[in-house]
Chain A
Amino acid sequence: MFNPEKFIEKTISSLQKEIKAKALIAFSGGVDSTVCATLANKAIGKQLIAVHVNTGYMRKNESEQVKKMMEDLSLNYRFVDASKEYYLALKGVEDPENKRKIIGEKFIRIFENVAREEKIEYLVQGTIAPDWIESGGGLRDTIKSHHNVGGLPQDMELRLVEPLRDLYKDEVRKVARSLRLQVSDRQPFPGPGLAIRIIGEATPERTELVREACDIVEKEIERASDQKIIERPWQYFAVLIPIRTVGVHGDKRAYGNTIAIRAVHSVDAMTCHYSMIPHEVIDVISMKITNTLKEKVNRIVYDVTNKPPGTVEWE
Chain B
Amino acid sequence: MARIYVVDNGGQWTHREWRILRDLEVETNIVPNITLFKDLQEEGVQGLVLSGGAPRIGLDSSLGNCAEYLEKAHFPILGICAGHQFMARHFGGMVKPSKLPEFGQVELTICVEDEPLFKEVLKRSIVWESHNDEVTVLPRNFIKLAESDNCTIQAMRHNHKLFYGLQFHPEVEHTQFGEKIFKNFIQLCEE
Contact = CB atoms under 8 A, between A and B. Distances in A.
Contact of A139 (B8, B19, B130): B8
Contacts of A138: 10
Contact of A306 (B8, B55, B105, B173): B105
For chain B, what secondary structure do more than half of its interface residues adopt (helix, strand, loop), or is it mixed? mixed
A278 interface: no
Interface residues of B, number: 26
Interface in A134-165: 134, 138-141, 143
Nearest to B174: A271
Nearest to A170: B173
A133 B130 contact: no
Given A2-B23, A308-B103, A308-B130, A139 B174 contact: no
B54 A140 contact: yes
Contact of B16 (A1, A139, A266, A270): A270
B98 to A, nearest CB: 13
Contacts of A143: 12
B9 A139 contact: yes
A143 B54 CA distance: 10
Interface string B8-21: 11111111100100
A126 B23 CA distance: 22
Contacts of B128: 271, 308
B172 interface: yes
Contacts of B58: none
15 contacts: A129-B19, A139-B8, A139-B10, A139-B54, A141-B10, A168-B19, A267-B173, A270-B12, A270-B13, A271-B128, A271-B174, A273-B105, A308-B104, A309-B103, A309-B130
Q: Give me the 8 closest cross-chain CB pairs, A-B, nearest first.
A: A139-B10, A309-B103, A306-B104, A308-B103, A141-B54, A140-B10, A271-B172, A267-B173
Nearest to A137: B10
A5 interface: no
Interface residues of A, number: 22
B54 A270 contact: no
Contacts of A134: 12
Contact of A266 (B12, B33, B173): B173
A168 B19 CA distance: 9
Nearest to A138: B10
Given A166-B15, A273-B174, 6 more contacts: A133-B14, A134-B12, A141-B10, A267-B173, A306-B105, A308-B130
Nearest to B16: A270
B76 interface: no
B53 interface: yes
Interface string B87-128: 000000000000000011100000000000000000000001
For chain A, what secondary structure do more than half of its interface residues adopt (helix, strand, loop), or is it mixed? loop
A141 B11 CA distance: 8
Given A1-B23, A129-B15, A271 B173 contact: yes
A32 B53 CA distance: 27
A268 B8 contact: no
Contacts of A133: 12, 14-15
B166 to A, nearest CB: 16
Nearest to B18: A166
Nearest to B104: A306
Nearest to A306: B104
A166 B128 CA distance: 23
A140 B11 contact: yes
Most buried by B among A138, A268, A308: A308
Nearest to B34: A139
Contacts of A129: 15, 19
A95 to B, nearest CB: 21
Contacts of A270: 12-13, 16, 172-173
Contacts of A2: 22-23
B150 to A, nearest CB: 14
A61 to B, nearest CB: 33
Nearest to B23: A1
A268 B13 CA distance: 11
Interface string A8-22: 000000000000000
B2 to A, nearest CB: 16
A166 B54 CA distance: 21
A143 B172 CA distance: 17
B10 A268 contact: no
A267 B16 CA distance: 12
